[in-house]
Chain A
């Protein structure tokens, strides 16, 4: 068998490397005889000796047994799609996912909010591949409902807190912004309250609800710096900007000028090759890489250059972190290094023992992910996972690790380290500093418990 995930020096090749010659002969002999139970037990003990993580031998593969009639009816009886004429081009001018994918939806967490308009829907992380979130599955957070804004009537204004901070207040149309030299970059966006329900205890069953206020897209737009230059911003006094939306809530957030000056803050209109979706701020939103989603102001209508932070509602009443001292941390914005395993994950079922690819997502608001370690014994021993690549700045990174499940209860965890050397903490370490009432910025290590039944549960260790 060819190992699809070569990680030299880390994964013990099977079966040659951990069975002796007699053992291999026995395995092959038994496989021919069709006695899988013996193989499975022989394999399990061999794995136990070699460490908990190993690639599976081909002989274990099953779960699609040959029916008594000698062949799979799905092979033997040709289906309609092999024997008939299919549909024509442009049947659907904007193609949709297969009807068989209809379970994969963004969803609300029951009881979390009382309204549809001031609420959140979570991305189905357990069903996604790679690092890009399909635009229609991108998580949503609206404060006062979403709108489908006519782009020909949308305007962006740049001005200053006083008449010296910007030489010339400016107005831009979409037509004009889209003539400027664009940049396209992949970045994650995570709500500051993602995993916030779990600060005190386990509250939700699946990674959709525990970590699904997280998405990643290729955003296309213009560096905000360019527009501030055109307006003549005073970068000496104007060390802050205020971003403001055009919707009912007219969301406002303060962003440090250092980030704008670095060129990474974008006024974006594009998302994954098309325009932003209305739920994500069509036709214009701010992209503030590494910073919590609330600062990525949607329906962006105005940027004000200022000489002090603004203490807007979403930085003075919400998105403030309560510490055990009774003080709230204000303007806490960076999403620190974090990871979550999406396969296997809570609320899912593994159908049988045997080979699986542990797979998950890691990210850091301070830069690139440097390493992800995976434990299958509740955090006692860890192995580096393979980073699938591309590994990009302030972007989701997919990691994988081959794993053979022996059918025993197993505690599965991932731990990410970013390029600054910051290591993702476990719950004990997080709570020792931040208590349990912060609501925001919970980047603790997630634990999933694979039960003997194959069902996976969300658990916290203490």
Chain B
């Protein structure tokens, strides 16, 4: 935290730093066993990197953002992955859902007691609003982290909180009222520190209060009480769900991978060693395009053969096959984005170089080969 855009504080910090630098130089002569290693960080450097926001809001910059502004930002920059209402499950687990107005009162998400409730959303779990602000600020949007301004982070956080019915539609979140919002977080009382898995001393803050592990077992050696009935195993139809296991193990050894493309064989008739599989090498242009798709995150939303958020590349190539202006059409779509042709979720404009755009567009024209 430490850093702050407030100029008075920066000046104060700078003055302090130079005083400390002097003291450090004096100290260096006396006690530094490692002369010449490391130097003082300047206040400007610390301000550039020290972006964390703690649960007590230390580190939170001044600013504000409304739910309405947050909604605009959301639809432009967040909905692609998280859905218009933060409910989407296509790319990441849903952010919103499963909390009630009652939870806002109690600070405990009741649904967490229901094993039948499908999934756990971010808003069901998170106890601290600082976590949302800090994370959106440091890591969102996913493909352009740290690109939101401080006020934009307030706005997006406000919109997310509004989706979860923590704040009303006309709300503006700011450094002044965020502590009040904390008192409305649906799962604010939902964490326990009573466990023995904290690797520090149980301190005044109470982490790792329990000094003994929660599960205590004696190591029985003979005639132990067991229930040696098999209660769970993979069903037969899932035999090949992780691919052919024969291709996932060394070709020699005490055990070989099972050939899961075939039903189990009798003992001894088991699979021959499977030599490494050499995939047919794609052409250089195809390989380059595939590498681009992977590097630039295109495959996050588009599967080669499967719809994810956006359509499968193979479907796109098929739909526009033979289009004479295919190259220009695809290039334009990649550069400007679009919505409506394949569904309601917009594809944002992509920041690719002209050469990279052309390579991907040409690959689509050529039939999206693998």
**A-side interface residues toward B, CB under 8 Å?**
99-105, 107, 109-110, 114-118, 124, 126-127, 143-145, 157-163, 167-172, 176-177, 179-180, 201-206, 208-209, 226-227, 230-232, 239, 242, 244, 248-250, 252, 255-259, 288, 290-291, 301-302, 304, 306, 308-313, 316-317, 320-323, 325-334, 336, 343-345, 347-353, 356-357, 359, 365, 371, 373, 377-383, 407, 411, 415, 417, 422-426, 428-430, 433-434, 436-437, 441, 449, 451-462
B250 interfacial contact with A, CB 8 Å: yes
Q: Given the complex of chains A and B, what is the CA–CA distance between A312 and B271 in angstroms?
A: 49
Query: How distant is A244 from chain B, measured CB to nearest CB, in Å?
Result: 7
> Chain A residues with Cβ under 8 A from B220's Cβ?
382
B254 interfacial contact with A, CB 8 Å: yes
Q: Given the complex of chains A and B, what is the CA–CA distance between A208 and B245 in angstroms?
A: 11
**Contacting pair A347 B197 (CB below 8 A):** no
B145, closest chain A residue (CB):
A248
**Contacting pair B139 A332 (CB below 8 A):** no
Contact with A along B229-242 (1 / 0, CB 8 A): 11111100011011
**Contacting pair A449 B230 (CB below 8 A):** yes
List which B214-273 residues lie within 8 A (CB) of chain A.
214-224, 226-234, 238-239, 241-243, 245, 247-251, 253-258, 260, 264-268, 270-271
**Contacting pair B122 A317 (CB below 8 A):** yes
Asked, given contacts A205-B234, A306-B54, A429-B217, whether A104 binds B224 with beta carbons under 8 Å apart, the answer is no
Query: How distant is A216 from chain B, measured CB to nearest CB, in Å?
Result: 18
**Contacting pair B250 A256 (CB below 8 A):** no
**Contacting pair B223 A309 (CB below 8 A):** no
Q: Given the complex of chains A and B, what is the CA–CA distance between A160 and B43 in angstroms?
A: 12
> Chain B residues with Cβ under 8 A from A302's Cβ?
49-50
**Contacting pair B193 A331 (CB below 8 A):** yes
Nearest 4 pairs between A and B by C-beta?
A: A256-B200, A462-B231, A378-B228, A102-B276
Q: Given the complex of chains A and B, what is the CA–CA distance between A415 and B226 in angstroms?
A: 14
Q: Given the complex of chains A and B, what is the CA–CA distance between A430 and B215 in angstroms?
A: 7
**Contacting pair B256 A348 (CB below 8 A):** yes
**Contacting pair B191 A256 (CB below 8 A):** no
CB-contact partner of A161 in B1, B258, B265, B278, under 8 A: B1
Binds A, one of B32-40, B66-74, B361-369: B32-40
> Chain B residues with Cβ under 8 A from A110's Cβ?
241-243
**Contacting pair B46 A167 (CB below 8 A):** no
**Contacting pair A291 B230 (CB below 8 A):** no
**B-side interface residues toward A, CB under 8 Å?**
1-2, 13, 16-17, 20-21, 23-24, 27, 32, 34, 36-41, 45-46, 49-52, 54-56, 58-59, 90-92, 108-110, 112-113, 115, 120, 122, 125-128, 130-131, 134-135, 138-139, 142, 145-146, 190-201, 203, 205, 207-208, 213-224, 226-234, 238-239, 241-243, 245, 247-251, 253-258, 260, 264-268, 270-271, 274-278, 294, 297, 299-300, 308
27 residue pairs from A and B, CB less than 8 Å apart: A117-B300, A126-B249, A162-B2, A167-B20, A171-B45, A179-B34, A202-B232, A206-B242, A226-B34, A231-B38, A250-B145, A256-B198, A301-B49, A316-B191, A317-B125, A317-B131, A327-B192, A330-B127, A332-B197, A333-B199, A349-B255, A350-B255, A352-B268, A365-B199, A459-B233, A461-B231, A462-B227
Query: How distant is A431 from chain B, measured CB to nearest CB, in Å?
Result: 10
Query: How distant is A455 from chain B, measured CB to nearest CB, in Å?
Result: 5
Further 17 A-B residue pairs, CB within 8 A, beyond A256-B203, A430-B215: A102-B278, A103-B276, A118-B92, A226-B34, A248-B142, A252-B134, A256-B198, A256-B201, A301-B49, A309-B205, A312-B134, A316-B131, A345-B255, A348-B255, A411-B230, A461-B226, A462-B230
Query: How distant is B266 from chain A, measured CB to nearest CB, in Å?
Result: 6
> Chain A residues with Cβ under 8 A from B268's Cβ?
351-352, 454
Asked, given contacts A159-B2, A462-B231, whether A311 binds B127 with beta carbons under 8 Å apart, the answer is yes
Asked, given contacts A304-B52, A329-B192, A423-B218, whether A460 binds B23 with beta carbons under 8 Å apart, the answer is no
Query: How distant is B130 from chain A, measured CB to nearest CB, in Å?
Result: 6
Q: Given the complex of chains A and B, what is the CA–CA distance between A308 and B90 in angstroms?
A: 36
* Consensus secondary structure, chain B interface: loop
Query: How distant is A190 from chain B, measured CB to nearest CB, in Å?
Result: 13
**Contacting pair A169 B203 (CB below 8 A):** no
A156, closest chain B residue (CB):
B38
**Contacting pair B34 A459 (CB below 8 A):** no
Query: How distant is A230 from chain B, measured CB to nearest CB, in Å?
Result: 6
> Chain A residues with Cβ under 8 A from B122's Cβ?
317
